[in-house]
Chains A and B, each alone.
Chain A
């Protein structure tokens, strides 16, 4: 028999809070995203027929994290000085800005979802400017392992972006 929501909740609530906090890059928000995750799961009438409830649960948490990030981004945009924008700016850019924001949120969540070693190698390369050789030396792994980590990170981001592109 598959797990009921009640059992899932008892087993994974703490994991979901941690996972969600990690995805959004801020553990303060883990509880809230976890709560949204459970709400979304509860709304599914046929949840007892889901084949892999745990997998489903963590995917729901990822979606909730992306939603949360988008909402965060939207809230920030309210503080934009709208008066200084011209109508033309708004017309041309609104959709593009929205798409760009969603891309950023999905990318952040994707990177945070990666295993720590993989993310670390990628961050050192992309954000801190270390060469593959330097990363290999600092992390005590081979250069080809560094390459694998970085390719994996990019692939994961690309795959998640594709999933969320058309929503």
Chain B
């Protein structure tokens, strides 16, 4: 039996102690085994320590339970585990949102990890590209830059960016959102992919851009003071007029909602909020919002929304806000 001769180092002793415990609970331990065990324990203080450790390990497990249906060990019986839910609104909330969480990981966090340029949560980042183009990245955005002799290509991987394009007739400047291309025609323009209802939204503050959706010969030029959305299947929506100062406001940390869906407002606030904002009732997403919100203080902005809408915003720690029916 293992608890006999080889006692080299504490680890061996500790293991011998465990072997003794197993032996003594085997259902065929004899009085002699017990005598041998006590004799073993008495050999040294280190033996005694090992025996105490092994015994404590065995005994402490007695407070665990085994679920008879799964064979898994649990801290408490299932019945008591259930009542726990009432005390744990925040945790249940996260569980509820786990499907959304899966999407969150695939998009925001992961894409940003491997992009050329990224911006952090809660801050605008200004980037000067090698051709002289200036890029303003909204919070939590990501883009790749691919310049070659014939094209200047930007891939907007996440979030929103505003481009002040340096003129270069020989090399067109193209912003890509997946397969949607936006070609600058001597321009300042804004592209976002952060809106829940569309694949991309493009607005122009100077001159014009040419938008070409994937697999389509039809392009659309839009001009200064206009905004247009492209949906997930590549359809270009209706061109609308948009005040350039509203388009530019996020660069100053302000968000202006004018007849904007709550879902879009939440999408705009999210990259400025360190955790997750969850809308528990999809019907709320269609509520119309008119407000000027401080992006730099997303918590207060959420609370401000709650004052003007039939919604309730609950904050759990600094990292979870849940929007529900008032």
Which residues of A are in contact with B by a Cβ distance under 8 Å? 4-6, 9-10, 13, 22, 24-29, 31-32, 34-35, 38, 42, 48, 69, 71-73, 75-76, 78-79, 100, 103-105, 107-108, 111-112, 116, 119-120, 123, 125-128, 130-134, 147, 150-151, 154-155, 157-158, 161
Residue B25 interfacial (CB < 8 Å): yes
**Residues in chain B near residue A108, CB distance under 8 A:** 64, 73-75
Say yes or no: A9-B27 contact (C-beta < 8 A), given A32-B94, A35-B94.
Answer: no
A104 touches B94 (CB 8 A): no
Say how far B249's CB is from chain A's closest CB, in angstroms.
30
Say yes or no: A132-B28 contact (C-beta < 8 A), given A9-B110, A126-B61.
Answer: yes
Residue B9 interfacial (CB < 8 Å): no
Q: How far is the CA of A22 from the CA of B114 in the complex (A)?
A: 32
A75 touches B109 (CB 8 A): no
B contact patch SS = helix
Closest to A6 in B: B110
A150 touches B22 (CB 8 A): yes
A154 touches B21 (CB 8 A): yes
Q: Which of B84-92, B142-150, B182-190, B285-293 contacts A (4 or more CB under 8 A)?
A: B84-92
**Residues in chain A near residue B14, CB distance under 8 A:** 158
B60 touches A72 (CB 8 A): no
Q: Which of B97-105, B167-175, B204-212 contacts A (4 or more CB under 8 A)?
A: B97-105
A155 touches B84 (CB 8 A): no
Say yes or no: A25-B95 contact (C-beta < 8 A), given A123-B66, A147-B26.
Answer: no
B114 touches A6 (CB 8 A): yes
Of the candidates A9, A72, A154, the one whose C-beta lies within 8 Å of that of B22 is A154
A158 touches B88 (CB 8 A): no
Q: How far is the CA of A151 from the CA of B58 in the complex (A)?
A: 11
Say how far A123's CB is from chain B's closest CB, in angstroms.
5
B105 touches A126 (CB 8 A): no
Some 29 contacts from A to B, beta carbons below 8 A apart, are A4-B110, A6-B113, A6-B114, A9-B110, A25-B73, A25-B75, A26-B72, A31-B98, A32-B91, A32-B94, A42-B110, A69-B75, A78-B87, A103-B60, A104-B60, A107-B60, A107-B73, A111-B61, A116-B71, A119-B73, A127-B64, A130-B27, A132-B26, A132-B27, A132-B28, A151-B22, A157-B57, A158-B18, A158-B53
Residue B231 interfacial (CB < 8 Å): no
Residue B63 interfacial (CB < 8 Å): yes
Residue B32 interfacial (CB < 8 Å): no
B19 touches A73 (CB 8 A): no
Say how far B51's CB is from chain A's closest CB, in angstroms.
13
Closest to B63 in A: A104
Closest to A151 in B: B22
A147 touches B22 (CB 8 A): yes
B64 touches A111 (CB 8 A): yes
Residue B106 interfacial (CB < 8 Å): yes
Say how far A48's CB is from chain B's closest CB, in angstroms.
8
Closest to A106 in B: B60
Residue B81 interfacial (CB < 8 Å): yes
Residue B179 interfacial (CB < 8 Å): no
B27 touches A42 (CB 8 A): no
A104 touches B95 (CB 8 A): no
Say how far B187's CB is from chain A's closest CB, in angstroms.
32
Closest to A111 in B: B73
Of the candidates B18, B25, B65, B106, the one whose C-beta lies within 8 Å of that of A9 is B106
Q: How far is the CA of A13 from the CA of B78 in the complex (A)?
A: 26
